[in-house]
Chains A and B, each alone.
Chain A
Amino acid sequence: MTATIITVTSGKGGVGKTTTTANIAAALALANQRVITVDGDIGLRNLDLVLGLENRIVYDLIDVVEGRCSLTQALVRDQRAPALWLLPAAQTRDKTDITTDQMIRVCTALRQYADYILIDSPAGIEHGFQNSIAPADRVLIVTTSDVSALRDADKVIYLLERDWRKPPGLVINRYNARLAQKGEMRTIDDVLDILAIDLLGVVPEDPNIVLASDRGTPAVYDPKIQTAQAYYNIAQRVLGNNVPLMRFSTGSFLTNLFGR
């Protein structure tokens, strides 16, 4: 069985691509899938930080491409999950140091070692984005519900339909149900109304998720972070299982109870 390659992208930067990649990858790994994450953001690598694996990196993607090590040597194992690896990007190099063909070759070679390969795409729609999209079987678009993120996501969907014919799925990140219910922010329906693609999941706004990423422990590893359930649900949907959308606390009862 060979792996399914899923690229996580967004167009706009800072909407949570890397955090989403790390958490979905870890959630898939905890569901007993063999998962390899690939950092496609050469020159601005972050995925290793969010996964907390920075100190164990010896080789990177560029070393593999330029023949300084074998593919398996460059993979960094995450000990917290049964089978989760990271193929790090080079921090010292540039997006143009790897061609689309080389990226496809590396990812194709990785297919035999995993069930799922998640590529963390850089922001933008240039070379690095195209390198990350080229090997993908599926694409996950991460967006928040704010106007610039949606505009950029819409453009990326257009490019995917026009140039790549890759079916995109949508993850709405940092969703604030309370503001949406008050009519001050777009609701899930408003977002879907514009983007009109399949919804894979909605991650509520929660500072705990941000803090967990900052500490190098993806939120799904921390049983105290309840909102991490959103990532388990997305992982289940990626696996093809039907899971209903999470219910969002919009204030009143839970807010009073926990004071947030």
Chain B
Amino acid sequence: MAAGLDQNAVILRGRSDGIAIEIASGRWEDLLQLLSHRLEQTDGFFAGGYVVVDVGTRQLNEAEVDLLGRVLASYALQPGLVRTTDERTFQAALALGIPCAHIGLDGSVINEAMPAQADDNTFPFFVYRGSLRSGQQLYRHEHIMIMGDVNPGAQVASNGDILIWGRLRGLAHAGVEGNLNAIIAALDLDPVQLRIGTVVAAGQSGQPLQPGQTTANGPRWGAARTADRRPEIARLVNGRLLIETWDDVKTTGAPLLKRRRA
């Protein structure tokens, strides 16, 4: 036991479907030791249950969040949701693929990323609220749903589909692990590069313009917003990447939407 640590620094509460853990301030290693001690006392009662961990305002890096995951794993528990008010902690949990929620100081949800309710017929969905900026990366095994923009320089990758309720102007890679049925869809599909499985296609945005030339949508992603943009869907047809507007898919591509019940 860590000496000098408030015994109430780690609080365990039972829930109907598992357990809620609240971690107050203190040294992270000491707190995890205390948590470990508490879980020991439950004698495996919550094993396999749903775990919500509230880490408060603390700023944690990837290694520290990972340590939390390991402590829980040693008691046959999985972090079902990490709640934090800290953006850095949120990003760390995100990078580790742990469902997480970024909570404002007023208790409102700023950002959340979690696998949506899965049933037997579908891949689970991973929902990300917010925009991805240059240098930011999101990689998930599940389908990804982004409610926001993917800016140039940002990367998003999934083994399933990638749906973007916003503009895709960075790099999107669907079916990273070889799923050739994956699709990429966005309200405004203007990527630097698209990849599905092993097929790579350069976006219009990546092409150099001739001096004085502007594209149909203006100079790259600049004036595109004023042009007539429609929701588009990219998929593989005979090994080539095909991009169609939603209107075309809706009328002729019904099989696309019904395919695959893997």
CB <8 Å contact, B223 and A187? yes
B74 contacts A by Cβ under 8 Å: no
B134 contacts A by Cβ under 8 Å: yes
CB <8 Å contact, B134 and A183? no
Q: Report chain B residues within 8 Å CB of A193.
A: 225
B181 contacts A by Cβ under 8 Å: no
B204 contacts A by Cβ under 8 Å: no
With A154-B133, A158-B134 known to touch, is A190 a contact of B225 (CB < 8 Å)? yes
CB <8 Å contact, A155 and B223? no
CA separation between A208 and B152, bound complex, in Å?
33
Total of A-B residue pairs, C-beta within 8 Å: 57
Of B18-26, B214-222, B237-245, which binds chain A? B214-222
Query: Contact check: which of A154, A165, A184, A186 meets B134 at CB < 8 Å?
Result: A154
Q: Report chain B residues within 8 Å CB of A183.
A: 214, 218-219, 223
CB <8 Å contact, A165 and B219? no
Q: Closest CB-CB distance, B160 to chain A, in whole Å?
A: 25
Query: Contact check: which of B134, B169, B218 meets A155 at CB < 8 Å?
Result: B134
CB <8 Å contact, B87 and A161? yes
CB <8 Å contact, A152 and B131? no
For chain B residues 38-90, which have a beta carbon within 8 Å of chain A? 87-88
Q: Report chain A residues within 8 Å CB of B221.
A: 190, 194
Q: Closest CB-CB distance, A173 to chain B, in whole Å?
A: 17
For chain B residues 163-222, which have a beta carbon within 8 Å of chain A? 169, 212, 214, 218-222
CA separation between A152 and B149, bound complex, in Å?
17
CA separation between A184 and B152, bound complex, in Å?
19
CB <8 Å contact, A158 and B214? no
CB <8 Å contact, B87 and A154? no
A162 contacts B by Cβ under 8 Å: yes
Q: Report chain B residues within 8 Å CB of A154.
A: 133-135, 151-153
CB <8 Å contact, A186 and B223? yes
A157 contacts B by Cβ under 8 Å: yes
A159 contacts B by Cβ under 8 Å: yes
B159 contacts A by Cβ under 8 Å: no
> 1/0 per position for A142-170, CB-CB distance to B under 8 A?
00010100111011011101110100000
Number of residues on chain A facing chain B (CB within 8 A): 24
Q: Report chain B residues within 8 Å CB of A58.
A: none
Closest A residue to B222 using CB positions? A186
CA separation between A147 and B136, bound complex, in Å?
17
A126 contacts B by Cβ under 8 Å: no
Query: Contact check: which of A147, A161, A162, A187 meets B220 at CB < 8 Å?
Result: A147
Q: Report chain A residues within 8 Å CB of B223.
A: 183, 186-187, 190
A49 contacts B by Cβ under 8 Å: no
With A154-B151, A154-B153 known to touch, is A159 a contact of B214 (CB < 8 Å)? no
CB <8 Å contact, A163 and B88? yes
Q: Report chain A residues within 8 Å CB of B155.
A: none
CB <8 Å contact, A186 and B219? yes
Q: Closest CB-CB distance, A217 to chain B, in whole Å?
A: 34
CA separation between A165 and B135, bound complex, in Å?
17
CB <8 Å contact, B131 and A196? yes
B91 contacts A by Cβ under 8 Å: yes
Q: Closest CB-CB distance, B234 to chain A, in whole Å?
A: 22
Q: Report chain A residues within 8 Å CB of B220.
A: 147
CB <8 Å contact, A157 and B219? no
CB <8 Å contact, B219 and A184? yes
CA separation between A189 and B222, bound complex, in Å?
9
Q: Closest CB-CB distance, A8 to chain B, in whole Å?
A: 19
Q: Which A residues are within 8 Å of any B CB, using their own CB?
A: 145, 147, 150-152, 154-155, 157-159, 161-163, 165, 183-187, 189-190, 193-194, 196
A/B interface sample: 12 pairs, CB < 8 A: A154-B151, A158-B133, A158-B136, A161-B87, A162-B87, A162-B88, A186-B219, A190-B221, A190-B223, A193-B225, A194-B169, A196-B131
Per CB-CB distance, the 9 closest pairs between chain A and chain B, nearest first, are A158-B133, A186-B222, A154-B134, A155-B134, A155-B135, A190-B222, A154-B133, A151-B153, A162-B91
